[in-house]
Each structure stands twice: as structure tokens, then as C-alpha cells.
Amino acid sequence: MLSLSSCAIPSLPPQPPTPTPLLSKPLLLLLQPDAHWSNRRRKHARQKLFHNNLYLQQCVNSGAMDEARKLFDRMPVRTLVSWTLLLSGYVNHGLAAEALALFERMLWGGTLVPDSYVYSVILRACAAMGYLDCGRGLHGHVVKRSSAVEVDSFVENALLNMYASCGAVEDMASVFNAMDHPDLVAYSTMLSGYVKNGFEEEALSLFLDIVRQGMPLDTFLLSLALGVCATLCVWDVGLQLHCYVIKNGFGPSLFLNNSMLDFYAKAGELEAMEQVFLQMPSTDVVSWNTCITGFVYNSYYLEAVRYFRFMMQEEVTSCDYVTVISILKAVTMLGDERRGREVHAYIMRKGFEENRRVMWSLLNMYIDCSADLESSDMRREVQVKLINRFEGSYLDEFMISSMLKSCSLRNDLDSGKVIHSLVIKSDLGNSDQVVASLLISMYYKCGLPEAADMVFLRVEAPGSGPWSAFISGRLGLISTHVFSSSYSYLKSLNVGRQVHAYITKTGHGSQSTVGNSLVEMYSSCGAISEAVQAFNSITDKTPFSWAAMLSARVDHGFSAEALDLFSHIRCNNDHVKDPSVISSYLKLCGQLGLVDDAYSLFTSLEDALGMKPSEELYAFMVDVFGRAGLSEDLQEFVSAVSPLNAGPVFWKAVVSSCRLLGNMEVAKHAVEKLMELEPTDGSACLLLEQVLLTLGQWDEASKLSLLHESPRGVHYSSVEIRNRIYHFFSDQSPTQDVSSKLGELREKMSELCYVADKNHMLHNAEEGGHGGSDLQHTEMQALAFGLISSASAVPVRVMKSVRMCGDCHSAFKFMSTFVNRQLVVKDSSTFHNFRDGRCTCRDRW
């Protein structure tokens, strides 16, 4: 520091000597260079470079990267040390992108050659950014310059880390296998890479190799190995590692002890976990979280609450969001809203409301706990509190989407409405496509289609997500209409066509998700030709597209086209492993009588395709044998089926096939099994009655009907006329115009010498009466109304809630020869497309 004396005005300097005249010295002597001056200048430059690098290192170490970069840019001379200091500083402080840009500038300079340390630093930057292509380029650069750059352990380990971080496990293994003498760091990097990328078995094998080679184990390796043992459930190896830890004095290691806690928690050994925890010399928040999460994972929710309370009372350490999420899960599973409110207060006090995972768990807790309340008034009170608590809180699309999925799975309409109100307040419903899609799906799933339609109509420029949810919801309503009494929610085929037109207009018709839904919608409505058009309009067909089209072809009985489609799938797309494709193909084999092909595919499912046949696939095989008339093969197949695969669906298929085969013995056995599985279901006796009718045993069928008197439900059929659905119920008499039309049809059929086939009356039991050719069943009334009310040559499509009876089926076939219409009936079994006296079901349904 300067003193005051040094700053004072100095006294007059002494008188300088009289200068010697310049020309008094020889001019040649003056013109000679001063060698000492050039040496001093070079020494000064070296000292300045040294001081600049020293200051640069101080800036990097302190994290002042902006100051370091300014100094670097002002340096007149930069050596490899200067570049290395700044590059490593960028990587160490998480600025990998800046490091890569600086390295590129260094290469463009062309005056400096990177050494092994620089390469290792840049490989770390590639690992941090996940730039696999850049890392591979550097790897090639290192190999190319191996004569000039020494490929030492720094570079090799950095390559291992880069490939591991980028998920290139095979490249990582190649580098490791090419190393002459991998050190412990290389083994640790390999082991970490395997674990990080989910190759736990390879990680365990590598760890055992390390042990066999006698290499020293450190806490990092032991922690990784314990995690692998927990994931693979290799408990004996984990116990041996615990013994090794104790024997070799690793006990004080907090990091290793936390891994031990996690191992015992995943193993379900909670007593051992507690023992390790109590013997730890020091704990941190990870230790407490591991114990609490372990209790929750193993369903010991009260123990988790006890540990959390002890953690709060003793104030041994501060909680983090992991602690809060785990304890919210515990109180949710306990249904303890009181404790949940206490956790909520803690969340607000500690400021965790900004964490969306915490808020999602809190929201889920309130909804699940309110679902356990029996009183509707109490439920409404909780829902009001829910809105008040979360109004204005941090709610984003992630949290709302998760909760809407939860409401859909539980059919929880009340909670879904609460979430919808929060969506409206957050202004996400009209702009966020994902949230809108989930709202539409939730309302459809919970049986409120009008609300789903309102959400859809309010979406601004709906994309493929909302359209798919809307069409899928409408498709579900059509299925509900056919199989239940929720007919009032059915929308017409013309509405579907209008939707399709709007989709095409907005440019979404070619997208696979929308196109798949359109294919299914048209198929379910009986419009197979329009389903084909929707399929052909999909530009990028996915496996679901092919499966949907194949299912539509098979369901409508267009077997030849379906067989060509399956051949195309098998040859060009390799989607044969799709369960829906397998099901459609087995149904197709049943239609065409391809018994050997069906049996070959069925028996190869588990070995060749890795699929375990479901009960539905067993039922399809039964149908294949029944349609082919192979009674003995059917009996052998039924005897060989495991009880695990023989449920109600299977035994009903057996009875239906026995009806076709006339095998009364197997039919009775199947009915007995059905009554054991479903004693309250009267359909078993109805099925047996159908078999007796098929065999012509009218008296036995009547006796069985009297022994099992059960009130028949009200069945119905429907037909669409000009955007409106008309329903015809079995307990109502037809109108005058319908009766007149039925009389005309009856007279025309009589003129053409129609004779009812008594062998096909087996399905009459479902709607009542064996009514011969009176044409009074609901599908006949719907057909008559459709012929009256629609223009000529327009197809008539009828939806029927139960199976079509044999007499009506024969009548429809006969009428298709003179009404000059395509007649389509969808019953609870299949589609019937009648044209020119034939049906696509081939009289087997």
C-alpha cells in the first residue's frame, strides 16, 4: 500500500549530468541491437501469460465464467493451457454447450493440437448434452490421430462415460473390450453405464468379474451392486455384500448405508432395514426418505406415518418433496383425510406448493379420501373444499391430466366435474389439446356424453387428440346401445359422416389415430364400404390401422378380402403378434373352415410368438371346430383345456358349437360348468334350450323352459332415418303403417313360395316365442319402417340388442332377393349383410 510519504511532492531532483553529444560516440556502436532488451521482453511476455493463466484459473475456480471469458478474449497469446482451463471450467459448471462451441473455435484456429486431457473434457461435454453423434465424431478423431495423441485412460474412461450417458451400450462395451488394462475407474463407469441403461443382468455379471479378479471395492461400486441386487431380486448376493461391508469397515459410509436401506426396503425385509437405520452413525434426508418410501412400498402405511411424525418432532433433518409425496401416498391409502390436511398445512408452511408432483399427490389424496365418504352431502362438501383449496394454486396440464385419467379409471364423475371446474378457472380446457381430450374421454366413460360434446365443441381448432377421443367415445356409445338399454345416447351414422367431413376439411382425416377411430366407427355402424374409404385415406398406417381394418372385414363376413388383408399384414408389416390380429384371424379361419391354419397358429402362439392364449382365443378355436363340423376334435380340445382358460366365455362358445354339431353330451357338460361359474345367470339353460330345439326335441325344450322360468328382458331394434334413431321394443305392438308393410312383405314372400326353416329357430328363446313366419320380432318392425321411410336403393341398417332368430334370418335372406336393398343387421353376435339371398355370416352365428 502506498504511504503518505510516497505520495508527497518530492524535493527537487539533483542536477543531471551534462549529456554527451550524440556524435561523440561512433554511429556504428549506436546502431547495434541490444540483446539483453529482447531477452527481457520475451521474459516479460512469458510472465504476463503465466499471470493471465493464473488469473483465468482463479476465475474458473470461483465460478466467474463471464469474467473468465472476457479475460480469455483479451489475452494476446493463448496456449493449450489457456484453452484447457476455460474448456474444463465450462464443463465443470454445467455449460457444456459453450464448451463445445469453444472447442470448435479452437479447431478452426488450426494452430493448437488437442491433447488427451482436452479430448476427455469435450467428451464429458458430449455426455452432458447427450450428443452421441458428436461423441462418435470425437472418437473417430482420436483414433485417426492416435499417432499424435496418446490414447490414455483419461480418454478411454471419458469415451465409456459418453457412450453410457448417450445410451449406446454396445459402443460402450466395444471400447471397454478394446482396453488393454482397464482400471477400477473403467470398471466403475461400465457398471454405472449398465445400471443407468437398464442392463442389470450384465451389470451383475461385470461386478462378479471384478470380485473374481480381486480388485478393491469402493463405496461407489458396492452401492451400485446393491441396487442391482435389489432390482434383480438377488437377495443372497445382497446379503453377502452386507457382510463384506461390515467386515471391511465400510460402516461409517452414509452413501453406502443409504444403498443398504434401499436394498432391504425393496427386498421387503423391513426389520433389517430398521436395524441398519438405527445403527447408522449419521443420517440425512435420503435415509429417512428411503425408510418412509420402503414402508409405503410394502403397504406398511402406519409405520410410514410414524417415521414421518418422528422426523418432524425431532427435527433431525428437513423434509424434501420426496418425503411429502411418500407420506401423502400413505395417508391416501389409509383414507385418513385428517392426517392429509395436516400434511397439506405442512406443505403450505414449507413452500412445497410450487412443486407440481407434490400438488398432484395432494389433489389425489383429497379425491381418493372423499370417494370413501358414504354421504353425498359430505362428498359435495369435500369437493367444494377441494375447489377452495386449489383455486389459484399451481395447477398445470400435467397435474390435471393425471387426475382426469384417475377419474376415468374410477368412473368418478363427481370428482371429474370438480377437476373440470379447475380446468375452466385455469383456462386450459379450450387451448390445451391433451386436457381437452382427457375431459372428453372422462365424460364419455362416466356416462355423460352431452358434457363431452360440449367440451369438444369449445376446443379451439381441435387436433387429432380431441377428434380421436370424440370418435372413440361415440363408438363406445354405439356398442353400449347394442348391448344395453342406454339407447338414448346413440348418435346416428349421418352424424358420424358429418364429423368425418369436418375432420377431412380441417386436415386431420389422414392422421392414423383419427383414421383408426373412423374405421371402427363406420364398421360398428354397419357401413363397411365407408370404413374401407377411411382406411385408404390414412397416409401413415400403423399396426392399429391394419388391425382395425382386418377386424372390420372379419366382423362383416367379407372373408376373402380379410384373408388378402391378413396376407398383406404378415408379408409386409409383421404385425402378427398383435392380439387383435390373432383374434380376427382365428374368427376368419372359422368362417372359411381353415381348421389346420387356425390350429397351427394357435399352438404356436406361446413358443413362436411368446403369447399365452387367452380365454377368448380358446373360445375362437372352439368356434372353428364347431363351424367345421368336427365334433370329435371339439370334444378332445375341450377335454384338454385347462380350468384356468375355461371361463364363461369359453363354455358359452362350446354350447354354441354343440348346437351346430348336435352334440348333446358335451353341451350338457358345458351348461353344468356354466351354472357352476355363474349360478345366477339364466343364460345357461337358454343355451341348452337352443340345442334341444336344434335337435328337434321340442318337448324337452318346453320342459326345460318351464323348469327355468325367468322373466325375459325387454329387447329392441333400432333403425336410422334422416339423422334420427327409431326404436322398436319387444313389449310394444307395431304401429299401423309398420303392420301394413309387414303384411305386404308376408304376402310377397308367400307368392314366392317362402317356407320357414324350423331348424333355425334356436335363437327365438332370446326374444320370446317360436313365431314361425309371423315376422313380428323387433328387427322385422325396424326393417318395415326403414323400407317405408327411406328412399329406394338406400341400405337399411338395423341394430338389434340380442341375437337374431333363425326364422328372421331366413326371412331377411329371402326378402333381399326382391326389395332391391342392401340389408344390414348388427346383433349381439355379429354383422349380417344380406344381398341376393345370401348372408355374409354363412348361416353360422
For 721-730, what is each residue's pLDDT tens digit? 876 788 898 8
Average pLDDT over all residues of the chain: 78
User: CA-CA distances (angstroms) from residue 492 to 325, 513, 716, 720?
Assistant: 47, 21, 17, 7
Q: What is the DSSP letter of 712?
A: P
Give the whole-angstrom CA distance, residue 699 versus residue 693: 9
Same domain, 781 and 749: yes
**387 belongs to a structural domain:** no
| Out of 38-52, 187-201, 634-648, 755-769, least confident range | 755-769
Same domain, 692 and 751: no
* Most confident region among 220-234, 649-663, 759-773 by mean pLDDT: 220-234
**397 belongs to a structural domain:** no
For 481-532, what is each residue's pLDDT tens digit? 333 333 333 345 776 777 777 667 666 666 777 788 888 888 888 888 888 9
Choose among 220, 198, 197: nearest CA to 207: 220
Query: What phi and psi, each to the nearest 5 degrees, are found at residue 75?
Result: -65, 125
Q: Which of 696, 712, 728 is the last residue of a domain?
A: 712
Same domain, 626 and 661: yes
For 140-159, what is each residue's pLDDT tens digit? 888 887 665 566 778 888 99
Give the whole-angstrom CA distance, residue 551 versus residue 583: 8
The CATH number of the domain holding residue 631 is: 1.25.40
Q: Average the pLDDT over 240-267 and give the result.
A: 87
pLDDT of residue 152: 76
Structure confidence at residue 41 as a pLDDT band (50, 70, 90): very low
Same domain, 658 and 722: no
**218 belongs to a structural domain:** no
Which is more confidently placed, 473 or 68?
68
| Out of 215-229, 357-371, 678-692, least confident range | 678-692
Q: What is the DSSP letter of 761?
A: G
Three-class SS of residue 251?
coil
**320 belongs to a structural domain:** no
**459 belongs to a structural domain:** no
Structure confidence at residue 787 as a pLDDT band (50, 70, 90): very high
Structure confidence at residue 758 as a pLDDT band (50, 70, 90): low
For 461-471, what is each residue's pLDDT tens digit? 677 678 778 77
pLDDT of residue 431: 59
pLDDT of residue 509: 62
Give the whole-angstrom CA distance, residue 701 versus residue 688: 8
Give burial (CB, 10 Å; 0-12/13-18/19+) of 656: buried
Residue range of the domain that includes 632: 614-712
pTM: 0.47
User: Residue 203 pLDDT more than 80?
Assistant: yes
Place of cell 511476455: 45
| Out of 319-323, 492-496, 500-504, 573-577, least confident range | 573-577
Give the whole-angstrom CA distance, residue 732 versus residue 716: 10
Same domain, 680 and 754: no
User: Residue 226 pLDDT more than 70?
Assistant: yes
pLDDT of residue 149: 58
Which is more confidently placed, 492 or 472?
472
**666 belongs to a structural domain:** yes
**622 belongs to a structural domain:** yes
Same domain, 831 and 787: yes
pLDDT of residue 511: 72
User: Residue 163 pLDDT more than 90?
Assistant: yes
Domain total in the chain: 2
pLDDT of residue 703: 57
Containing 762, the helix (H) or strand (E) segment is: none
* DSSP H helical ranges for 593-682: 595-603, 605-608, 615-628, 631-640, 648-661, 664-677
Same domain, 621 and 720: no
User: Residue 183 pLDDT more than 60?
Assistant: yes
pLDDT of residue 25: 46
Same domain, 689 and 789: no
User: Residue 610 pLDDT more than 70?
Assistant: no
For 802-830, what is each residue's pLDDT tens digit? 888 888 888 999 999 998 888 999 887 78
What does the block give as the cell for 350?
A: 414449507
Give the whole-angstrom CA distance, residue 805 versus residue 299: 53
Same domain, 754 and 792: yes
User: Residue 432 pLDDT more than 80?
Assistant: no
| Out of 290-294, 304-308, 378-382, 473-477, least confident range | 378-382
Q: How far is CA 441 from the centre of its chain?
A: 16
**344 belongs to a structural domain:** no
Same domain, 672 and 750: no
Residue 399, CB-side half-sphere exposure with 13 Å CA sphere:
23
In the chain the first and final C-alpha atoms are separated, in Å, by 106
Same domain, 648 and 747: no
Structure confidence at residue 290 as a pLDDT band (50, 70, 90): very high
Same domain, 692 and 795: no
**One-letter amino acid for residue 550 of the chain:** L
User: CA-CA distances (angstroms) from residue 226 to 191, 207, 230, 787?
Assistant: 12, 11, 6, 75
**One-letter amino acid for residue 840 of the chain:** T
